[in-house]
Structure 1
Amino acid sequence: MITLYWCPQTRAARAMWMLEELGVDYDLKIIDIRDEKAKVDSGFLQASPMGKVPALNDGEAVLADSAAICLYLADKYPEKALAPSVDDPLRAQYLYWMVYVPGVIEPAMAEKFSNIPPNKVSHGWGDFDTMISVLENALDGEDKGPWLLGDKFSAADVMVGSTANFLRMFNILPDSQIINDYIDRCLTRPAFERALAKDAEHALPS
C-alpha cells in the first residue's frame, strides 16, 4: 500500500491529486510541518531526509518532492496514460513541464514574494514575467490543445495546473485569461475536486 506523507494547504496537494487521477489505493499520513516533533516519524524521514512534504513510501521505493513523486507514479502505472512513453516525441515536452514547476515557477514565485530584484542572466529561472509568458504561450493559439501536451491530459498538468492555482489563490497571478481558463479546466477534473475536498477536510487548526 502506498503511503503519502502530506500536510494540508501545501504543495503536497499535487501528489494527492496525482494519486486520485490514478485511482489507486493509498493511505494518507498527516505531517504537521509546523511541529518539529511530527517530523521524527522514521518512515517519513526515510522518504524525506529534509523533512519536507510531500513524501511517499511504496514498499521499497521511498522518495520526496512532488515532481519526483508524480514522475514515479506516472511511470509506475503506464496503463493510466498520464505520461508519454519513452519513445513518444511528446515525452520531451512532458519532462520539460514536469520540472518547470520546481525549476522555474517556484523560484520565480519566491523571488516575487521576497521582493528580490530579478536577474535573468544569473537566475536560471529567468524572472516572474517571463515564466508567466512562457506558460501563456504554451496554452494559447489555435494549434494548442486544452492541456500542456495538446488534447492529452498528463501528470505535467497536475504539476503546473496545481501550481497555477496556488498563484491565483495567493493573488500573484497576473490578469491572464489564458492561464485562468486553464486553471478552471483543472478544477473541473473530478480527481482534483476529490483532492481539494480531502485537503479541506483535514485542514489543521490555525
Structure 2
Amino acid sequence: MITVHHLQNSRSQRVLWLLEELGLPYEVKRYERDAQTLLAPPELFKVHPLGKSPVITDEGLTVAESGAIIEYLMDRHAEGVLRPAGGTPERLHYTYWLHYAEGSLMPLLVMTLVFRRIPLSPMPFFVKPIAKALCQKVAATFLKPQIERHLKFIEQHLAQHEWFAGSVLTAADVQMSFPVEAALARGAKPGQYPKMESWLKRVQAREAYQRALATGGPYEIL
C-alpha cells in the first residue's frame, strides 16, 4: 500500500491527485504545519532526513521530491497512461515541464513568499524599515520581473497546447498544477493570463482532482 505523508497546504496535494488519476489505492498520513513558522513538524524527520513533504512510502521504499515521486509512480504503477510515448515531441514537452516546475518556477515563488514574510517577522523596531525597504527592492527589481517573464512564457505555451505536453492530460500537468495555482494566487490580476486560468479551471474540474481535495483536506496556497 502506498502511503502519502501529506503536509497541510503543500505540494503533496498533487501527489494525491496523481494517485487518483491513476486509480491506485493509497493511504494518507497527515501532518500540520507549525502555526508560527509554517514549517513542517518534527515528525516528518522520522520519515525522511530532510523532514519535508511530499514523501511517499511504498513496499519498503521511501521516495521524496515531487518530480522523483511522479517518475517513480509512472515507472512502477502506470501502464501507458498520463505519459507520452518515448521519442515523440510530446514526450520532450512532458520531460521539460516535469522538471521546469520545481527547477525554474517554484524557487522564484518561494523567494517571493519569503521576502513578503521577512518584514512581518519579529525584529528590533529600528531594523524593520530597513528590512521592509530591502525586501521591496528585491521584489520590484528582481522577483517581479522574473516571475512575469516566466508566466508570459507559460501563457504562450498554453496558447499553442491544450495541456502542457500536448493535446491530452499528463503527469506534467499534475506537476505544474501547484506552481500555476501559486502564481495566479499571488498577485496575478484576473484575466491577465487567460490561457493559464482556463487550464487551471479544467484541472480543478476533474473528478480525480476533486477526490484528491476531499481526501487531503482543506487546502490553500500559502
Q: Percentage identity across aligned positions?
A: 27
1:186 maps to 203
Q: Distance in 1 between matches of 2:109 and 2:78?
A: 32
Query: 1 CA distance for matches of 2:181 and 2:147?
Result: 16
CA distances 1:35-76 after superposition (whole Å, capped 9, x unpaired)? 6442353xx12xxx2110010111143211112111211222
Gaps spanning 5+ residues in structure 1: where? Answer: 121-125
Which consecutive segments of 4 or more residues in structure 1 shift more than 6 A? none
Structure 2 runs not aligned, ≥5 long:
35-39, 116-134
Q: Which one of 146, 150, 170 corresponds to residue 154 of structure 1?
A: 170
Distance 2:42 2:94 in 1: 38
Establish whether residue 197 from structure 1 lines up as the match of residue 202 from structure 2.
no
Larger RCO: Structure 1 or Structure 2 (Cα < 8 Å, ≥ 6 residues apart)? Answer: 2
1:9-24 residue pairs with structure 2 within 5 A? 9-24=9-24
Scaled by the length of structure 1, the TM-score of the pair is 0.81
Please tell me the root mean square deviation across aligned C-alpha atoms, in Å. 2.3
The CA deviation at 1:2 is 0.8
Distance 1:33 1:39 in 2: 11
1:127 aligns with 2:146: yes
Closer, same or farther: CA 200–36 of 1 in aligned 2, 3 Å? closer
Is the Cα contact below 8 Å between 1:33 and 1:39 reproduced in 2?
Answer: no
Q: Secondary structure at the match of 1:103?
A: helix
Match for residue 43 of structure 2 among 38, 41, 53: 38
SS of match in other structure, 1:129: helix
- Distance in 1, matches of 2:163 and 2:29, equals 31
Scaled by the length of structure 2, what TM-score is found?
0.76
CA separation of 1:80/1:29 partners in 2, compared to 1, >3 Å: closer, same or farther?
farther
Q: Which amino acid aligns with 1:190?
A: E
Matching of residue 103 in structure 1 with residue 103 in structure 2: yes
